[in-house]
Amino acid sequence: MRINPAELLRKSWLVVCSIFLILMVSSAQAQEWQPDRLPDGQPNITGMWNNVGATATPVEMPDEFEGRVPTAEELADFIARRDEARKGNVCSLNECISGGQSVGAYGNEWFDWYWSDAVVDAPALVVDPPNGRIPAYTPAAQEAIRLNVVEEHDSAATVEAGDRCLSRGVFGMMMPTAYNNGKLILQSPGFVMIHSEMIHNARIIPIDAGDHVSDNIKLWEGDSRGRWEGNTLIIESTNFKYVRNIRAPGRGNPPQNEGRKMVETFTFEDENTLRYTLTVDDPLTYEAPWTVAFPYLKDNDYKQYEYACHEGNYAMETRLSGARVLERGLTETGNR
């Protein structure tokens, strides 16, 4: 069949015009929607927000996408494969042991992601640096990670902070995790409160409150100050407490240093979606600053329950006493 150039040009022009019209309408709709405002002028961000859909996205860029941007089809297939693999990764205790696998922890049905749909958003949570990889650890951070392994059970003070039920840090609170991903955000005049179900942490962030606290005050999740720029909530945190062993994405648990700065943004994409970003600048731990991004979705069905965190406390005696037994060289029968 011969192709009529004039007809092909006419059809191509119609397609271009149609796409342009769709984009214009979508843009207009996005611009028309605005979040409700509270009496003090804050956009109303109050509600239950859940990032469980991002748990299928790897923290760092997969090797198969290194140096290129995957197509929409490739990304959807990649996320679907990851989600299906973890949901199907089930074995009985005997099967796990005989197959040389870890005995694991909880059954899959206890994890949020088992009952949730994965969100196809990006090939990695890390969006900066552009290679999608966490920057290298400094030599001091590498040494701290080594000591965390060697000295983890020297005392209660050297056990990871989350296991001690003290704090999971900003990373542990805000990043997608195995369960308890719902975040309750409440507002009052001049404040935003973010409540994490895990370790029942509540971050109370003053809005337009001026300078941070004195430099000699150091806090587990830092001292936070928030402000609104349009429909984006920006939270800047400083004054972090030094913690050698605390949750963090990537390899090991690198230290949280006193000079750490974190900047978070919560941007309304629509009434049911917040685009969240977190940038960390900790030159004593990382060779360069880096940023993650992922969505939080409104989840009116999610209910938070008390997270008493007795597991770590009850386990502490067993962990430390077991380490003392190993130090003395005792066998399971108690013989030297």
pLDDT at 12: 38
pLDDT over 80 (residue 8): no
Average pLDDT rounded to a whole number, residues 27-56: 85
Contact 59, 124 (CB under 8 A): yes
Average pLDDT rounded to a whole number, residues 161-174: 90
The whole domain housing 267 covers: 47-52+125-313
pLDDT over 70 (residue 195): yes
pLDDT at 183: 96
pLDDT over 60 (residue 334): no
Range from 101-115, 163-177, 181-195 carrying the lowest mean pLDDT: 101-115
pLDDT at 311: 66
pLDDT at 312: 67
pLDDT at 103: 57
Omega cis (within 30) before 129: yes
Q: Would strands 261-270 and 126-128 be described as parallel, antiparallel, or unpaired?
A: unpaired
Of residues 13 and 170, more confidence is placed in: 170
Q: Which residues contact 59 (CB under 8 A, 6 or more apart)?
A: 124, 125, 126, 134, 249, 250, 292
Judge whether 73 lies within some domain. no
Of residues 108 and 76, more confidence is placed in: 76
User: From CA 285, how far away is CA 260, in angstroms rounded?
Assistant: 9
Q: How confident is the model at residue 15 (pLDDT cuts 50, 70, 90)?
A: very low
* Distance in angstroms between the alpha carbons of the first and the last residue of the chain: 90
Of residues 329 and 47, more confidence is placed in: 47
Give tens-digit pLDDT for 182-193. 999 999 999 999
Share of the chain above pLDDT 70, in %: 83
Average pLDDT rounded to a whole number, residues 271-297: 97
User: From CA 226, how far away is CA 206, in angstroms rounded?
Assistant: 6
Q: How confident is the model at residue 104 (pLDDT cuts 50, 70, 90)?
A: low
Q: Helix, strand, or coil here: 143?
A: helix
pLDDT over 80 (residue 11): no
3-state secondary structure 222-247: CEEEEEEECCEEEEEEECECCECCCC
pLDDT over 60 (residue 28): no
Q: What share of the chain is helix, strand, coil (3-state, %, to 5)?
A: 30, 25, 45
Give tens-digit pLDDT for 56-74. 999 999 999 988 999 999 9
pLDDT over 90 (residue 300): yes
Judge whether 146 lies within some domain. yes
| Average pLDDT value over all residues in the chain | 85
Judge whether 181 lies within some domain. yes
Average pLDDT rounded to a whole number, residues 258-265: 97
C-alpha distances in angstroms, 167 versus 55, 173, 285, 295, 323? 21, 9, 19, 23, 23
pLDDT over 70 (residue 98): no
The four Cα atoms 196, 197, 200, 205 give a dihedral, to 10 degrees, of 20
Give tens-digit pLDDT for 215-258. 999 999 999 999 999 999 999 999 999 999 998 998 889 999 99
Q: How confident is the model at residue 94 (pLDDT cuts 50, 70, 90)?
A: low
pLDDT over 60 (residue 22): no
Of residues 1 and 146, more confidence is placed in: 146
Judge whether 278 lies within some domain. yes
Number of domains the chain contains: 1
Q: Which residues contact 169 (CB under 8 A, 6 or more apart)?
A: 161, 162, 220, 221, 243, 246, 247, 248, 256
Judge whether 150 lies within some domain. yes
Judge whether 296 lies within some domain. yes
What's this model's pTM, rounded to 2 decimal places? 0.83
Judge whether 61 lies within some domain. no
Contact 222, 236 (CB under 8 A): no
Q: State whether the Cα torsion 166-246-297-279 is positive or negative.
A: positive
Query: Which residue(s) pair with 226 in the sheet?
Result: 207, 235
pLDDT at 309: 78
pLDDT at 190: 92
User: How many C-beta atoms surround the C-beta of residue 286 within 10 A?
Assistant: 21
C-alpha distances in angstroms, 48 versus 53, 207, 272, 304, 314? 14, 20, 10, 9, 30
User: From CA 58, how far away is CA 51, in angstroms rounded?
Assistant: 13
